Structure 1
Amino acid sequence: MKNKKIEALLLIIRPANVITSIADVLAGIAIVGYLNYSGVDNTLFLHGILLSIATACLYAGGIIFNDVFDLEADKINRPERVIPSGKLSLKEAKIAGIVLFFIAIMATFLVSLFSTLVALGVVVCALSYDKYAKHNTFLGPINMGMCRGLNLILGMSIITSLDAKYYLISLLPILFVSAITLTAQKETKGKNKLAIGLAMLLDLSIVVGFLFIAQNFNFSLQKAGVFLAFWYGVNVVAKINAIVKNQPKLIMKAVKIAVLSLIPLNASYVAGFSSVTNALLVLCLLPISLYLSKKFPVT
């Protein structure tokens, strides 16, 4: 019974997605220059670990409450999901989500007050999306995007005295995750060509955003170029397929690819702000996430 509960928890938190959130934090750490340090800084290393634990728990907790609030709809549209199928009770899911949020807040408290405030912001945004904004065509994508934007800032919070202009970079994951959310709208029914077309425009705006970063920050577009091209290419192909054949299966595949592609997108930040070597290390999270995506749900 215990093993079945653990399996149910793994199913509901979508481990492949959780890995992408760790890449967000690593990207944030790279943006503020902390991956460029030579030697070993034990405090810095510990804070990086704590922020990685925090982001994993925040994402997992948010995903759990997504399914908690979706229970009635999932009974009809996705009865195979963990809660409606009875693999995990509603009460057990709520307790798991609360515990994960608590662990995240405690982990960030050990880093700084600023990190804690950012984590609390992620909790508020996640719950507001899960409960209210999800079904709003305009607010839903923005709300979900803010979760990822704050997640990137969570990585940046490893340093508290940061020039405010760096927070502008968080607009890029907000745009991209808004694009993912647009793509996911009506994914169980299809007929969302317009939403996917808008998502493709948002993807293109992110490329423009990287040009802006290269002009206004100490960022090497040359180093980041290959990673950025890889991210953009896989998303363009997936979204075009989902538009041409606007079927639930292809839409869900486009969403899955977009979620996992957050890792090469984050590797783009790392390459430009740090080094190609560090970016390749972040990119190593992708095969792990891909493997987990074959074992556990992504969308």
Structure 2
Amino acid sequence: MKGWMQLIRPSNVLTAISDVMAGLAIACLFMQQSLPDWPTLLLLSLSSMSLYMGGIVYNDVFDFKLDQIERPERPIPSGRVQISQAVQLGTIAFVLGCVLALKINSTCFYIALAIVLMCLIYNGIAKHHFILGPICMGMCRGLNLLLGVAAIPAALAYWPLALVPVVYIAAVTNISRGEVYGDNKKAMLVSLVLYLLVLGTLSYYTLQSGLYVAFIFIAGFAFMIGKPLFKALQTLAPPDIRKAVKFGVLALILMNASWIALSGFWVLALAVCCTLPISIVLAKKFAVT
């Protein structure tokens, strides 16, 4: 069981809930609607988690040979999980995510299919490309945000906001290039600029909405990503870089809570934040990267 849990990285999967909730909150803000009923929220959350699980399992499937060299302790190269079993789990997770999305509406279904396609492109082709890799990984998260937006299909007119998680995850992915060998200061400085761009965008929309309570969430987000990144910039050591990546992934919850809060749904923002301590505990037991 521990091998399977290490494979699916439960702390990462939990962050997917915040993506779709942020997308839904943004859709409600711009379309001036209230949140849909709880079954829709549940379907969105489960669909997003399943799609994320499929992507992260296939990440290890495609990295099997590389992990034999760099991370032989991972579940597949160590033999604790057979590669055929991992393929089955990843496929089932993808199919389940798409079926649950279809239960919401056809638009969500098509976006779920796009997420599956982008995950496979990233894992199979783009991952090791210097520019294409971070962009494709970011697009997976951007599409996940749009999965939440698509619960109100007309709100997809505001799709450019999905570029924010694209930029953010591209920054985190860029940092992760040094988590094995370290010494990637230039890449981390680029990511710092991208982080500032994301923080600036969140601050701008908070000022536009007039819901300044969102700055509390933004401040927490900035602290969570900034502290480990600055330490990694000082040491350039792989453990510190891995920590910067770890908190970059987990901080997605606070970034998305910021979107939810500035959309006027501060109770939902607090509920999403409640997943953060759970993710942190899980991240201590099962690696994020």
Q: What range is the shorter-chain TM-score in? A: over 0.9
> Which among 200, 216, 241 is matched to residue 251 of structure 1?
241
Q: Which residue of 2 aligns with 1:289?
A: 279
* 1:91 aligned onto 2:81: no
Q: Which residue of 2 aligns with 1:100?
A: 93
Relative to structure 1, the CA distance from residue 72 to residue 281 in structure 2 (aligned partners, 3 Å threshold; closer, same or farther) is: same
Q: Which residue of 2 aligns with 1:268?
A: 258
CA distance in 1, matches of 2:46, 2:268: 20
Q: Which residue of 2 aligns with 1:173?
A: 165
What amino acid does structure 1 have at the position aligned with 2:6?
Answer: L
Q: Which residue of 1 aligns with 2:62?
A: 69
Deviation by residue 1:20-75 (Cα, 9 ceiling, x = unmatched)? 1111111111112289738xx6xx32122111111101111101110001010100
- The answer to whether the Cα contact below 8 Å between 1:211 and 1:221 also exists between their aligned partners in 2 is no
Relative to structure 1, the CA distance from residue 16 to residue 36 in structure 2 (aligned partners, 3 Å threshold; closer, same or farther) is: farther
1:289 Cα offset (Å): 0.5
- The answer to whether the Cα contact below 8 Å between 2:205 and 2:262 also exists between their aligned partners in 1 is no
What amino acid does structure 1 have at the position aligned with 2:26?
Answer: I
1:132 Cα offset (Å): 0.9
- 5+ residue gaps, structure 2, are none
* 1:194 aligned onto 2:186: yes
Q: Superposition RMSD on alpha carbons, in Å? A: 1.7
How many residue pairs match? The answer is: 287
1:210 Cα offset (Å): 2.1
Alignment of 1:1-299 (within 5 A): 6-33=1-28, 37=34, 44-162=37-155, 164=157, 166-214=158-206, 219-220=209-210, 222-299=212-289
- The answer to whether the Cα contact below 8 Å between 2:127 and 2:133 also exists between their aligned partners in 1 is yes
Where 2:212 maps in the other structure, the secondary structure is: helix
- The answer to whether the Cα contact below 8 Å between 1:144 and 1:177 also exists between their aligned partners in 2 is yes
Deviation by residue 1:74-127 (Cα, 9 ceiling, x = unmatched)? 001000001000011110000110000010011011111100111111111111
- The answer to whether the Cα contact below 8 Å between 1:12 and 1:64 also exists between their aligned partners in 2 is yes
What amino acid does structure 2 have at the position aligned with 1:67?
Answer: D
CA distance in 1, matches of 2:268, 2:81: 39
More divergent stretch after superposition (225-234 vs 191-200): 225-234
What amino acid does structure 2 have at the position aligned with 1:98?
Answer: T
Deviation by residue 1:206-264 (Cα, 9 ceiling, x = unmatched)? 12212443466xx3451211111111122121111101100100000000011000001
> Structure 1 segments of 4 or more deviating over 3 A?
34-38
Deviation by residue 1:148-206 (Cα, 9 ceiling, x = unmatched)? 00001111111112261x21211111111000000001310001000010000000001
TM-score relative to the length of structure 2: 0.95
More divergent stretch after superposition (226-235 vs 106-115): 226-235
CA distance in 1, matches of 2:125, 2:14: 26
Identity, % of aligned positions: 38
Relative to structure 1, the CA distance from residue 135 to residue 163 in structure 2 (aligned partners, 3 Å threshold; closer, same or farther) is: closer
CA distance in 2, matches of 1:297, 1:257: 11
What amino acid does structure 1 have at the position aligned with 2:108?
Answer: S
- The answer to whether the Cα contact below 8 Å between 1:64 and 1:97 also exists between their aligned partners in 2 is yes
More divergent stretch after superposition (88-97 vs 268-277): 268-277
- The answer to whether the Cα contact below 8 Å between 2:257 and 2:272 also exists between their aligned partners in 1 is yes
- The answer to whether the Cα contact below 8 Å between 1:179 and 1:199 also exists between their aligned partners in 2 is yes
TM-score relative to the length of structure 1: 0.92
- The answer to whether the Cα contact below 8 Å between 2:149 and 2:156 also exists between their aligned partners in 1 is no
- 5+ residue gaps, structure 1, are 1-5
- The answer to whether the Cα contact below 8 Å between 2:206 and 2:215 also exists between their aligned partners in 1 is no
CA distance in 2, matches of 1:30, 1:185: 33
Where 2:127 maps in the other structure, the secondary structure is: helix
1:273 Cα offset (Å): 0.1
CA distance in 2, matches of 1:278, 1:53: 17
Where 1:132 maps in the other structure, the secondary structure is: helix
- The answer to whether the Cα contact below 8 Å between 1:82 and 1:88 also exists between their aligned partners in 2 is yes
CA distance in 2, matches of 1:215, 1:186: 36
What amino acid does structure 2 have at the position aligned with 1:16?
Answer: S
